[in-house]
């Protein structure tokens, strides 16, 4: 507090803004979802709802987004998405099992046809290295895909932006099997 006024530093996470390549990916995903009449859901932890926000910011296409879950804590993952305590305590919240359970839980708790989950460490933690992120993409009536990335200790903002790219690419690949998820 300076002179009785609370001063806040600009959050590192989105300074300056979402890069153009990520916005283009989001537009492509939403266009494909609209063309195929597929509803999307997100289950996010380390990205804190950034993907949901991005998917709802695009005019004329955001109706393909059904809902998002921001489940930063283990309790939220358990209560909102049904991630079992056994997974959270055994494998951990940042694991393949947790990412798969989050994506599948988002489908179960929504009317979406396709859900992507993102769970990771944006910075170093006692139980994991900075930049370790697990993703899953679940399709109603289909298989759940998993992907793990090690972005490294590149800073919170860079990890979160890289996670947006991967999450969008997973959605795109699930909407269009010819598209690469890489």
Residue 176 confidence (pLDDT): 85
What pTM was computed for the model?
A: 0.89
Question: Residue 71's closest CA among 102, 92, 96, 111?
Answer: 102
As a residue count, the chain comes to 182
Give the closest residue to 171 by CA, choosing from 134, 119, 135, 141.
135
pLDDT at 132: 98
Cβ–Cβ < 8 Å for 46, 120: yes
Closest CA to 65 of 51, 76, 84: 51
Predicted confidence at residue 11, as pLDDT, reads 40
* CATH class of the domain comprising 19-175: alpha beta
CB 149 within 8 A of CB 116: no
Q: From its phi and psi, is residue 82 left (phi > 0), alpha (psi between -120 and 50) or beta? A: left
What are 125's strand-pairing partners? 128
17 pLDDT band, cuts 50/70/90, is confident
Say which residues have a Cβ less than 8 Å from residue 176's Cβ, sequence separation at least 6: 32
Mean pLDDT, the chain, integer: 90
Render pLDDT for 96-154 as a digit per residue (tens, 0 to 9): 999 999 999 999 999 999 999 999 999 999 889 999 999 999 999 999 999 999 999 99
Largest CA distance in the chain: 58
Instruction: Kindly give the residue spans of alpha helices, DSSP state H, lying in 91-178.
Output: 96-108, 156-175
Cα 152 → chain centroid: 18
Q: Which residues face 119 on adjacent strands?
A: 134
Q: How far apart, in whole angstroms, are the C-alpha atoms of residue 172 and residue 158?
A: 21
């Amino acid at each position: 507090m300076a002179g009785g006024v609370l001063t806040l530093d600009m959050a590192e996470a989105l300074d300056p803004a979402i890069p153009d390549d990520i916005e283009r990916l989001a537009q492509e995903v939403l266009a494909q979802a609209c063309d195929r009449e597929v509803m999307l859901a997100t289950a996010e932890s380390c990205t804190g709802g950034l993907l949901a926000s991005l998917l709802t910011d695009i005019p004329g296409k955001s109706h393909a987004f059904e809902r998002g879950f921001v489940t930063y804590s283990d309790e939220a993952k358990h209560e909102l998405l049904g991630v079992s305590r056994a997974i959270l305590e055994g494998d951990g919240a940042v694991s393949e099992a947790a990412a798969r359970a989050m994506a599948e839980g988002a489908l179960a708790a929504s009317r979406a046809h396709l859900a992507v989950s993102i769970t990771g460490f944006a910075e170093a933690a006692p139980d994991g290295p900075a930049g370790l992120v697990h993703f899953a993409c679940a399709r109603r009536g289909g298989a759940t895909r998993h992907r793990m990335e090690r972005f490294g200790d590149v800073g919170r903002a860079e990890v979160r932006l890289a996670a947006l790219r991967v999450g969008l690419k997973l959605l795109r690949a699930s909407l269009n099997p010819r598209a690469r998820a890489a």
